[in-house]
Chains A and B, each alone.
Chain A
């Protein structure tokens, strides 16, 4: 029983990171019907930029730690968003009217370019974040949960909620949903679809960058290829929840994390990934559009 509860918290922590990254895949797919393979690398850029900026921010001890971390998060999200927009302009927009395959190949190319550029800039060795977050744990009976883990889940949930409300309740959010349903009709209604696309490439990478920063602060060790593993898992989470669907990405991410943790707990540690992907296959056989893929009419 104790192990079950502890494994659930383990799974929720990993799952909330998957969910944050999955949002980037799902939003781009919703609007452009394109799988942005470079998204995992934008996540890695978030982690590396976070490390670089954190090092210089730590030198300024006049600000409190909380304020510095907030500033760090804003800067990282802004910078990764800029990179996201540049990738869209350079690699996707020129191919908007080309066959789907060209755009997918271009996305893969962008991913390879970004990953190798990072390796050349920072070197192939693992980089390590300084320990800035408290390392203590909260005790609940026999269960001990690191404070940082609670913070990671809380930060992810807050960001996902804000995004959900933004897309559902604001005029700009409505424009994004309209462009996702039918770009031509949206244009006729006076919506600038190009602006919507740029906005999607601001929000998705910003969230991915924030996830990278969280991973760096939480786990400490980052490598230039880490976007591949996380990207694949997050992409799976997006499909699990129904690609193109924002609540679906959140549910899919958390679910994938929990399935992995429970697989490691009760099956075999070595088989946890196999189990997670077996569940994905089963769900897709039963519900080809993913868990929440059909229930919501508008796809964003």
Chain B
């Protein structure tokens, strides 16, 4: 008898503890080919949960983080999403790849759980009219806008656009082309190269004959490096610009420092360049806990995803999915680590996240103010 009373009391205590907890899920590629991204997402969010709990939690309740691994693939993500949904999480942060996120969207939406993705940039994810889906990362079409604006700011009169026929690269080039046409700017060249070749001199000669002031290449870093190197060998001095697929230090290795100097590319800021006071303090505390600064911007964007969810719970004093979603929609100028955060009706982040980077004489990527 005594025993059962004790058990009952214990049950009540744990029940009480549970009632005071808010469960928030993290869906991340902890294993698989994007494991480095997923593990960094985990580190960011765990650190922030500890900080929030040390300050008394959200709306007076402690946050309990539930982590599920999607393995960077759709099937794993579906199982992981269902597990999260049955464990009673009120909101989910993640995940990274667009196709993987897409596999989980309906599961969370039907369960009335708010999902805040951190690395899925495909345009269609927020075009489906799903009420409970938001993201802290930009969309692929935003890069086109920033690219077109940069070309306009540079005062380019004749613009060449070069892509590599892949979905991402052709899409970005089409986007920029349409924006430039709408502004009546002169696109003198629009064509594709064949990726994985080594000799791009024929393309460069053709480009040169078109006489552009600036060339925008929307492909990946291996081809960009070769283009820069061969452009220099030809003695051609026209500036080149690239998209975020070029943000890789190997670019400078392939092109050589001299040929890479002055190259401009668009990219979300790397963590070391986050410039708000909150972000600097955060990078310092991350460094203190893990012994290294955060490497990936997508990990930090997962952290921002957790923070907006926590802010929404705090503001609405509620843990229902509907209220959290409404709270997120009402956020204005939330001081995120990656800049001010607010969402539009589709669930996309408002504001520009892409920055312009320039390669300096030592081959470093320098943020352009």
Binding site for B on A (CB under 8 A): 2-3, 6-7, 10-11, 13-14, 125-126, 128, 131, 135, 137, 144, 146, 148-149, 215, 219-221, 223, 225-226, 229, 260-261, 264-265, 268-270, 272-273
Interface segment, B20-28, B47-55, B188-196, B275-283?
A: B188-196
Residue among A126, A137, A220, A223 with max Cβ neighbours from chain B (10 Å)? A220
CB of B198 within 8 A of CB of A126, answer no
With A7-B205, A10-B199, A131-B256: A273-B194 Cβ-Cβ less than 8 Å = yes
CB of B202 within 8 A of CB of A265, answer yes
Q: Is B355 an interface residue (CB 8 A)?
A: no
- Category for how many chain B residues contact A: 20 to 34
Per CB-CB distance, the 3 closest pairs between chain A and chain B, nearest first, are A270-B192, A264-B202, A261-B202
Give the shortest distance, in Å, between B277 (CB) and chain A (any CB): 38
With A270-B165, A270-B192: A128-B202 Cβ-Cβ less than 8 Å = no
CB of A14 within 8 A of CB of B199, answer yes
Contact of B205 among A10, A131, A146, A221 (CB under 8 A): A10
Q: How far is the CA of A273 from the CA of B234 in the complex (A)?
A: 23
Contact of B234 among A126, A137, A226, A229 (CB under 8 A): A137
CB of B206 within 8 A of CB of A265, answer yes
Give the shortest distance, in Å, between B352 (CB) and chain A (any CB): 31
Give the shortest distance, in Å, between A128 (CB) and chain B (any CB): 5
CB of B199 within 8 A of CB of A144, answer no
Which chain A residue lies CB-closest to B201?
A10
Give the shortest distance, in Å, between A30 (CB) and chain B (any CB): 28
Q: How far is the CA of A221 from the CA of B255 in the complex (A)?
A: 9
Residues of A within 8 A of B229 (CB): 219-220
CB of A226 within 8 A of CB of B196, answer yes
Q: Is B16 an interface residue (CB 8 A)?
A: no
Q: How far is the CA of A6 from the CA of B202 in the complex (A)?
A: 8
Q: How far is the CA of A131 from the CA of B250 in the complex (A)?
A: 15
Q: How far is the CA of A84 from the CA of B170 in the complex (A)?
A: 41
CB of B205 within 8 A of CB of A265, answer yes
16 A-B pairs, CB-CB below 8 angstroms? A2-B209, A10-B202, A125-B250, A126-B254, A131-B256, A144-B234, A148-B233, A149-B233, A215-B198, A219-B198, A219-B229, A220-B226, A220-B229, A220-B256, A226-B198, A269-B203
Q: How far is the CA of A265 from the CA of B206 in the complex (A)?
A: 5
Give the shortest distance, in Å, between B134 (CB) and chain A (any CB): 35
Binding site for A on B (CB under 8 A): 162, 165, 191-194, 196-199, 201-203, 205-206, 208-209, 222, 225-226, 229-230, 232-235, 250, 253-254, 256
Q: How far is the CA of A128 from the CA of B198 in the complex (A)?
A: 12
Give the shortest distance, in Å, between B128 (CB) and chain A (any CB): 32
5 more CB-based (< 8 A) A-B contacts, given A14-B199, A261-B205: A3-B206, A10-B205, A219-B198, A220-B256, A273-B194
Residue among A11, A13, A135, A260 with max Cβ neighbours from chain B (10 Å)? A135
CB of A269 within 8 A of CB of B191, answer yes
Contact of B254 among A14, A149, A220 (CB under 8 A): A220
Contact of B201 among A13, A126, A270, A272 (CB under 8 A): A13
CB of A135 within 8 A of CB of B205, answer no
Residues of A within 8 A of B193 (CB): 269-270
Residues of B within 8 A of A14 (CB): 199, 201-202
Residues of B within 8 A of A6 (CB): 205
Which chain A residue lies CB-closest to B205?
A6
Residues of B within 8 A of A149 (CB): 201, 233
Residues of A within 8 A of B203 (CB): 264, 269
CB of A126 within 8 A of CB of B205, answer no
Contact of B202 among A135, A221, A223, A272 (CB under 8 A): A272
Give the shortest distance, in Å, between A214 (CB) and chain B (any CB): 11
Q: How far is the CA of A192 from the CA of B197 in the complex (A)?
A: 41
Q: How far is the CA of A190 from the CA of B79 in the complex (A)?
A: 72
Which chain A residue lies CB-closest to B165?
A270
Residues of A within 8 A of B250 (CB): 125-126, 128
Which chain A residue lies CB-closest to B210?
A3
CB of B165 within 8 A of CB of A128, answer no
With A220-B256, A269-B191: A229-B202 Cβ-Cβ less than 8 Å = no
CB of B225 within 8 A of CB of A229, answer no
Which chain A residue lies CB-closest to B196?
A229
Residues of B within 8 A of A137 (CB): 233-235
With A13-B199, A126-B250, A229-B196: A144-B235 Cβ-Cβ less than 8 Å = yes
Which chain B residue lies CB-closest to A148?
B233
Q: How far is the CA of A272 from the CA of B226 in the complex (A)?
A: 18
Which chain B residue lies CB-closest to A216?
B198
Q: How far is the CA of A220 from the CA of B203 in the complex (A)?
A: 18
CB of A268 within 8 A of CB of B232, answer no
Residue among A128, A146, A264, A265 with max Cβ neighbours from chain B (10 Å)? A264
